[in-house]
């Protein structure tokens, strides 16, 4: 499918909640009619020490790094500038509202391609990191071929995947590989993308993935999601070792692409492909702009549902909220 980077202006259409029939009720729907009305641009220095310059909304749109394209939401990076001062330009956006115990369904057409130096992620995070938690849904660095599902918390939260406060700071957290090459980067893009669903309740944090070429549940397509009919999740964090409500609350939804930093940069030289390309991660990212032409997100929609029985979704505006996120 041909992709056009002709971006339209950031719109100003407000989302209207529509009640879903079934266990979950839709709270917010973000797509190419209103996405940028519901998300703020983060334009401060990267908390993960990346070689990146995050741009504000106006500049990102003017430089064609953020906008609406191909009936979706485009979030890209600068792939033209050699030796960019202060880092390669990119975008990081966070939802203005926060959510607790929600069902978040993201329909994504394209993820940033696998390329040395890149570190894209789709995640949720609470204020006062790591004590209100972080949930990493899509994340990988350099030439990684499958996503890593990871949680980060304060002390006293352990699942079968490990101690989510590891190594005592929350930097590493507890995680597991999807072991599915269709969940990340090139493997994901080759099949036209797919749907990730985060089911977050008081007793479990479940992550599901449905490839575009597979069987996407009809209830998702119909706007009436029922996770109880979806089969086993890709991963499930549950058990008596962690009181989820006390460790996960008031999360923003985040999409970003950074470069190098505390993870991609730290392992760059040990990657046999990347280590052969440049002496350092920053050198490669700085001198090879064209390598990042396919480093972009194309998001069809992000929909947030709450359990109609418990009405567990919490929403509040956080237009001035600046969360932190770390990786050892």
- Catalogue the active-site residues: 134, 139
Phi, psi of 302 (to 5 degrees): -130, 120
3-class DSSP assignment, residue 189: helix
CA atoms within 13 A on the CB side of 59: 13
Alpha-carbon dihedral sign for residues 233, 38, 70, 222: positive
Tokens coding 280 = 């350092």
DSSP structure class, residue 202:
S
Burial of 214 (0-12, 13-18, 19+ CB in 10 A): exposed
Task: Tell me which residue has tokens 């792939």.
Answer: 79
């Amino acid at each position: 499918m041909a992709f056009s980077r002709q971006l339209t202006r950031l719109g100003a259409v407000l989302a209207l909640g529509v009640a879903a029939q079934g266990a979950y009720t839709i709270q917010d729907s973000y797509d190419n009619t209103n996405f940028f009305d519901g998300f703020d641009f983060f334009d401060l220095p990267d908390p993960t020490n990346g070689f990146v310059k995050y741009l504000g909304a106006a500049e990102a749109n003017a430089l064609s790094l953020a906008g609406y394209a191909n009936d979706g939401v485009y979030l890209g990076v600068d792939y033209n500038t050699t030796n960019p001062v202060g880092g390669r330009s990119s975008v990081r956006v966070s939802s203005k509202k926060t959510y607790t115990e929600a069902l978040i369904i993201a329909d994504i057409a394209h993820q940033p391609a696998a390329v040395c130096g890149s570190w894209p992620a789709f995640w949720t995070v609470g204020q006062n990191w790591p004590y209100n938690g972080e949930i990493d849904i899509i994340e990988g660095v350099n030439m990684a071929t499958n996503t890593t599902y990871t949680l980060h918390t304060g002390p006293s939260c352990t699942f079968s995947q490990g101690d989510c406060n590891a190594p005592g700071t929350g930097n590493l957290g507890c995680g597991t590989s999807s072991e599915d090459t269709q969940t990340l980067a090139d493997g994901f893009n080759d099949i036209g993308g797919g749907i990730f669903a985060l089911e977050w309740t008081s007793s479990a944090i479940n992550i599901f993935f449905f490839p575009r070429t597979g069987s996407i549940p009809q209830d998702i397509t119909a706007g009436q999601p029922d996770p109880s009919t979806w089969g086993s999740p890709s991963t499930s964090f549950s058990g008596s070792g962690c009181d989820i409500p006390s460790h996960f609350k008031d999360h923003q939804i985040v999409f970003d692409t950074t470069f190098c930093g505390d993870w991609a940069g730290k392992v760059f030289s040990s990657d046999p492909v990347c280590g052969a390309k440049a002496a350092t991660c920053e050198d490669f990212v700085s001198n090879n702009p064209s390598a990042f032409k396919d480093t972009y997100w194309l998001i069809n929609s992000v929909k947030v549902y709450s359990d109609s029985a418990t009405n567990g979704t919490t929403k509040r505006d956080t237009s001035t909220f600046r969360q932190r996120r770390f990786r050892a």
